[in-house]
Amino acid sequence: MGRILVLYYSNEGHTKKMAEYVAEGAKQIPEMEVRLKSIYEANRDDIYWCDGLALGSPTYLGTVASEMKKFWEELLPDWQKLDGKIGCAFSSQGGWGGGAELTCQTLMSIMINYGFLVFGVTDYSGKQFTAHYGATQAGEPRQDKEIEACKRLGRRLAEWVAVFVDGKKDLHPLNKLYKRNPWD
């Protein structure tokens, strides 16, 4: 059974809402144990426990929130225990063009420094809406395509954990077990 941790920091609740949708998407894959925790609820054992990590932060000044960065700097000094885990990112921003993709890249850079294998999502969740660098959102996700981007990120994380950790090659996304783009 694969283990997924959706870990987030949220100030106004938008990133928390995204995290809930990411966790919902991860639960779409059978036999996945999914934990949803804020950085204030999580500890180093939660990070060591997971096979896959979805990491979320709001965008502040075009980058990751200082609270998230501090979590990684202070809580996890034993970085070699994380090598080879699978990771992805998500971020909320105040408005479109606010830097959420840069925040996702920063979150992935943090994970890469701990040895995580990170990925983006090639699917479209709606017309002109992707999660290539991770799920990004201006404010709270409300539209179907915004919610689906979060869910798709979680599902893809669970699929990669199923394929690479649990050996379930039949769950590979290229097997087209579901509609990957709105126009398919």
DSSP secondary structure letters along the chain: -EEEEEEE--SSSHHHHHHHHHHHHHTTSTTEEEEEEETTT--HHHHHH-SEEEEEEEEETTEE-HHHHHHHHHH---GGGGTT-EEEEEEEESSTTSSHHHHHHHHHHHHHHTT-EE--EEEEEETTEEEBTBEEEESS--SHHHHHHHHHHHHHHHHHHHHHTS--GGG-GGG-SS--STT-
pLDDT of residue 168: 95
pLDDT per residue over 51-78, tens digit each? 999 999 999 999 999 999 999 988 766 7
Q: What does the pLDDT profile of the chain (184 residues) look like in tens digits?
A: 999 999 999 999 999 999 999 999 999 999 999 999 999 999 989 999 999 999 999 999 999 999 999 999 887 667 678 899 999 999 999 988 889 999 999 999 999 999 999 999 988 788 888 888 999 999 999 999 999 999 999 999 999 999 999 999 999 988 877 777 776 6
Q: How many CB atoms neighbour CB 11 within 10 A? A: 13
Give the C-alpha separation, 114 to 101, whole Å.
20
Domains of the chain: 2-175 (3.40.50.360)
Amino acid symbol at 10: S
pLDDT per residue over 136-162, tens digit each? 999 999 999 999 999 999 999 999 999
| Phi/psi-derived region of residue 134, left when phi > 0, alpha when psi is between -120 and 50, beta in every other case | left
Report, in angstroms and rounded to the nearest whole number, the Rg of the chain calculated over CA atoms: 15
Give the C-alpha separation, 52 to 58, whole Å.
20
pTM of the model: 0.94
